[in-house]
Amino acid sequence: MNLLKYRSNCRIHYRDGAILFTGDRQKFSIRATETVYTEIHRMLGELSDGVPESRLSEGYPEYGKLLELLEKQDLLYRIDAQLLERHGRTDYFRIVETEAEDVDAALRQIAAARISISTSFEAGRELAVLLRDNGLSACTDGDQEDDVQVRTEGRDGRVNVVEGNGRVLAIAPANRQEIGFLGSRRESHDWISPGLVAPFVFSQLIMEIIGKAPDVFLINEDAEVERKRLHRSEDAFPVDGETAGEDPFARFNRLERFVGSRSSRILSFNGNPEYEDYRQRPLQVLTIQYADPSDTVRNLFLADLDYERLADFVSATAFREVMRRAYGNERKEELNGPGRMLGPDEFPEWDTIRQLIEDKGMELSITAGEASNGEYWIRIGDLQTGRTSMFDFRVAREFIPLAVYSYISAKENGVDGEALPYSAIRTIREPLEVNGSW
């Protein structure tokens, strides 16, 4: 027998002559008196335990249309009475009810799941007890690489726990290679109790079984917990499809929110320890920290006179390239190529650049040319270091000054190596054909 049940993550309240219904993904209201609200509230109280539809028709015949609407909005769902009896009092039932679209199918997946726990997993004993108390069983395996593995309906899943710098524990339904940027495996976490870790692993295990989008739990040494969505290389780029005509700061703010709310290989903006020591007048600096495919933390340094243009370049060009580098999809292409060279009178902000270089006491030769695709490449010869370097990005014409300013600021701040968005191409042995030299 099927029952109608009200999802436990849905809320109802009365305000200004209307009943407001709120779920995770929807919100709507209906006009009603306070008396009607009281009756509906009582009906939903019964539905929270599961009710046969026939009983609702007898007890609340006037609310048939409302029940249809609530079911259409997914605030009500149908569940097999035997499944509710078996699983309804478990610790995982609320997870399933709030996360799964098909609750029946999800509960059957959990019942059929085969779970194994690594013998080296520190919270393994506590997890096994938690599983047993919820009517689930698990075996132990001394050879498996993952802390917990699960197989259900021909699909394999896993949950791993890693410890990062600063005593932060990350718990994620992903293999170790995928979350290596969050930390490494440790046999013992002496600063956090296994009894605290086990419930989070349990929750992740249930989510993995029912095939929900992976989240990461981050627990610090003060037992403060943060939950972030795990970003994977195949996930959508955070600003695609919404950039046309958008204010550069608005687009950049969305990237900041992405970095703050997602657990990804893009670690932070301006999070490198040296950032506060950089000279930022008149050039303003923006840095991006990311973990490359080998889980080594890298830093990208950019600077510009115009912070709006800097934000625009990061959101339109640089962030996309950093994502490629972080997830191992870096483009391999020649940064220079055939095309017309720019003359001094065509070079954006030429006089300002020349004066700045003179003020900083630098000796630079700068060349910019149009590539075959209509974008521009930038080459800088540094006569003081004896190196010629190419800017790592082909750019639109308006970003040419940013490329030069980034080099000037990086040189002034002692930034070199991979943080500098330039690649050395040769040692200077003879004068270059350039737009200008100082």
């070079």: which residue's tokens? 347
Do residue 217 and residue 264 come from a single domain? no
**Residue at a domain's end among 230, 257, 285:** 230
Do residue 141 and residue 217 come from a single domain? yes
**Residue at a domain's end among 202, 230, 258:** 230
Side-chain half-sphere CA neighbours of 159 within 13 A: 30
* Domain CATH for 21: 3.90.930
Domain presence at residue 238? no
pLDDT for 243:
55
Domain count, the chain: 4
pLDDT for 108:
96
Residue 263 CA to residue 182 CA, distance in Å, equals 8
* Beta-sheet strand order (sheet of 11-15): 11-15, 18-22, 27-31
DSSP state of 317: I
pLDDT for 438:
43
Do residue 291 and residue 354 come from a single domain? no
Q: For residue 377, how far is the Cα from the chain centroid?
A: 31
**Residue at a domain's end among 230, 265, 282:** 230
The contacts of residue 144 (CB under 8 Å, 6+ apart) are 116, 118
Domain presence at residue 235? no
- Read off the pLDDT band of 105 (50, 70, 90): very high
Domain presence at residue 23? yes
Do residue 142 and residue 223 come from a single domain? yes
Query: The domain containing residue 255 runs over which residues?
Result: 248-326
Domain presence at residue 88? no
Domain presence at residue 339? no
- List Cα–Cα distances, 210 to 100, 198, 387, in angstroms: 7, 19, 56
Do residue 225 and residue 116 come from a single domain? yes
Do residue 38 and residue 66 come from a single domain? yes
- Read off the pLDDT band of 329 (50, 70, 90): confident
Whether the per-residue pLDDT at 338 is higher than 70: the answer is: no
Give residue-wise pLDDT tens across range 48-80.
999 998 898 899 999 999 999 999 999 999 999
**CB count, 10 Å around CB of 64?**
12
241 Rama sector, left if φ>0, alpha if ψ -120 to 50, beta otherwise: left
Give residue-wise pLDDT tens across range 75-92.
999 999 999 999 999 999
pLDDT for 427:
60
- List Cα–Cα distances, 155 to 107, 142, 235, in angstroms: 15, 21, 20
pLDDT for 435:
47
pLDDT for 374:
86
Domain presence at residue 370? yes
pLDDT for 290:
96
**CB count, 10 Å around CB of 295?**
14
DSSP state of 3: E
Do residue 223 and residue 271 come from a single domain? no
Domain presence at residue 176? yes
